[in-house]
Amino acid sequence: MILGVDIGGTNIDIVVYDGEFRHVATYPTKETLTKLNEILNDLIERFNVKAVGIGLAAWIKRGKIVKMPNISGKFEISLKVPFVLDNDANCFALYSAKHFGLKNVIAITVGTGIGSGIVMDCRLIHGEGLAGEIGHWFVGGDEECTCGGKGHLEANFGGWSIRKRFGRDAKDLLEDGSIYRIEGFKLMCIAVANAITLLDPEAVVFGGRIGGNLDPQILKSEIYRYLMAGFEPEILTLKDPLAVAKGASLLVEEQM
């Protein structure tokens, strides 16, 4: 039995996995982070868990947490069983590849922030640890990002940025279709097109509470506007709020 945990900027989602996934709980991150070890250790005993996979909205380099741009405070993971830790978008990429049967995929998560993970030849690509941070690509302007940088993609299209810029949640912009008309959407599509040109994946999968609800046909039309002939990846969305937690479970199978 494996426990899969998604620690995002807004919510913490938890699943158990024994060949099938079961949703255990969802908690608000801000109120839960300081007592997360206690919660997870209780679940470990309750479900007789042997290992834990954790997807964290953070920059992780050589196994060390470098920065958590969208999570306030510090915490240390202390569990009764072995655990593996990775960036949340990497976990999403791993699950996306399995879910859609893909060997080469770029996975983009758009929620509170923007992240991405890369699977090539069925394996996660980490580089030195920070590979795939598309949300912090410079796309222009001087809007300050939560990471401290300026002009990043996330500062133009992340959930926190949309709320700051328009005084409305991205959910509202999705419902009335106006999200496709803001400059941040165009900048994201350009960034994704550039990533496609660099890696030539068979598909790009969008997820997260914003990304998973974008229209794949509109995404494809806008992304392909910036692609040269010869690049023809599928553009897919995965409307599963538990995808990162599920991917974190699969991470245990891959690394332990």
Say which residues have a Cβ less than 8 Å from residue 120's Cβ, sequence separation at least 6. Answer: 103, 104, 199, 201
Distances from the Cα of 254 to the Cαs of 82, 83, 102, 119, 247, in angstroms? Answer: 14, 12, 16, 13, 10
pLDDT of residue 62: 84
Residue 70's pLDDT is what?
A: 86
Alpha-carbon span 53 to 13, nearest angstrom: 12
The beta strand positions in the chain, using DSSP E, are 2-7, 11-17, 21-28, 51-56, 59-61, 64-67, 83-87, 105-110, 114-120, 123-124, 203-207, 234-237
User: Residue 256 pLDDT > 80, yes or no?
Assistant: no
The whole-angstrom separation of Cα 193 and Cα 150 is: 21
Quick one: pLDDT at residue 207? 96
- Bridge partners (DSSP) of residue 25 are 14
Say what angle helices 88-100 and 243-255 make with each other, to 10 degrees: 90
CATH topology for 91-237? Nucleotidyltransferase; domain 5 (3.30.420)
Q: Please tell me whether residue 232 adopts helix, strand or coil conformation.
A: coil
Structure tokens at 126: 């980490």
For the stretch 53-103, pLDDT in tens is 999 999 999 888 988 988 887 778 999 999 999 999 999 999 999 999 999
Tens digits of residue pLDDT in 100-152:
999 999 999 999 899 999 999 999 999 999 999 999 999 999 999 999 999 99
Q: Where in the chain is the domain with CATH 3.30.420.40?
A: 2-88+243-255, 91-237
Contact 114, 157 (CB under 8 A): yes
Nearest by Cα to 55 from 252, 253, 245: 245
How many angstroms separate the CA atoms of 192 and 134, rounded? 8
Q: Which residues contact 181 (CB under 8 A, 6 or more apart)?
A: none
Structure tokens at 43: 């679940």
Between 70 and 244, where is the model more confident? 244
pLDDT of residue 255: 82
Residue 76: the pLDDT is: 86
> Tell me: the pLDDT tens digits for 198-227?
999 999 999 998 999 999 999 999 999 999
Check whether domain 2-88+243-255 has CATH 3.30.420.40, yes or no:
yes
The pLDDT, as a whole number, for residue 234 is: 98
Nearest alpha-carbon partner for 93 in 252, 253, 222, 238: 238
58's tokens: 């953070």
Per residue in 142-196, pLDDT (tens digit) is 999 999 999 999 999 999 999 999 999 999 999 999 999 999 999 999 999 999 9
Backbone phi and psi for residue 20, each to the nearest 5 degrees, phi listed first:
-130, 150
